[in-house]
Amino acid sequence: MAAHSMAKLNHWNSTWTLDEAQCPCDLHFLDYLAEQRVSGRNIFHMGTGVHHIVGLKTADAGRNNQVLAITASRDEYTAYIDLLIDDPRLGFSYKAYFGDLYQSDARMLPALDYVTLFHAGEYRTAENDSYGALTDEQVGLIFAEKLNPGGEILFYTGSFAYDVAGRVGAALMAKRGFADAGRYKSLHVFKKPG
């Protein structure tokens, strides 16, 4: 059995309520999906918020999309559990899990059509280094590998760490042939070839 480190998981000891004025990225993503008439697609969403709006609205939209989301907040994960207990049908289209995005492993991810990395760079600290977590670029490249041809990775331009997201976007273009597909409201879209 491998020895375990004494390092603790870098998690967010708080929660995020829906505040469109301060952070509209989840709502803008839902607008984007609606305008593009996206249906039957697999979505990975970074950062559920206690509101879980992406998972809830995608489930309600009747477009047969599936959302897999990650949160590093215990309270946000508990809110998901409560939502699922109250409405078990939600579990058919929306799964959320608790963890560190920087521990992502391509072998555990499904094929995806859309990936939101809205909070890239915001919570990556030396604490992550203490247990060998990936970098933002490595995470971006893992999700690029799991993205179906023509799929998209989206970043939030209003993030305080958008410079990190910009570097990840540049790596996607240089190392995986992605195209800069432009902006939609507060989102920056990168498209996989194919």
Q: Record the pTM.
A: 0.92
What is the 3 state secondary structure string of 63-122? CCCEEEEEECCHHHHHHHHHHHHHCHHHHHCEEEEECCHHHCCHHHCCCEEEEECCCCCC
User: Two tokens at 186?
Assistant: 């507060």
Residue 10 has pLDDT above 70, yes or no: no
Q: Tell me, what's the pLDDT at 1?
A: 44
Q: Tell me, what's the pLDDT at 126?
A: 85
Residue 114 has pLDDT above 50, yes or no: yes
What's the chain's length in residues?
194
User: Two tokens at 154?
Assistant: 């989206």
Q: Widest CA span of the chain, in angstroms?
A: 51
Which amino acid, one-letter code, is at 149? P
Options 3.90.1150.10, 3.60.20.10, 3.50.50.60, 3.40.50.150; CATH of 25-191: 3.40.50.150
Residue 82 has pLDDT above 70, yes or no: yes
Q: Tell me, what's the pLDDT at 8?
A: 76
Q: Tell me, what's the pLDDT at 15?
A: 58
pLDDT digits (tens, 9 = 90+) for 25-57: 999 999 999 999 999 999 999 999 999 999 999
Q: Tell me, what's the pLDDT at 12?
A: 56
Share of the chain above pLDDT 90, in %: 80
Which amino acid, one-letter code, is at 71? T
The burial class, CB within 10 Å (0-12 / 13-18 / 19+), for 75 is middle
Stretch (H or E) spanning 70: strand 66-71
pLDDT mean across residues, the chain: 91
- Number of Cβ atoms within 10 Å of the Cβ of 191: 20
How far apart CA 10 and CA 29 sit, in angstroms, is 26
Q: Are 187 and 157 in contact (CB under 8 A)?
A: yes
Average pLDDT, integer, range 107-119: 97
Average pLDDT, integer, range 76-95: 96
How far apart CA 152 and CA 49 sit, in angstroms, is 21
Average pLDDT, integer, range 168-173: 98
Average pLDDT, integer, range 87-107: 96
Helix orientation angle between 136-146 and 162-176, rounded to the nearest 10 degrees = 50
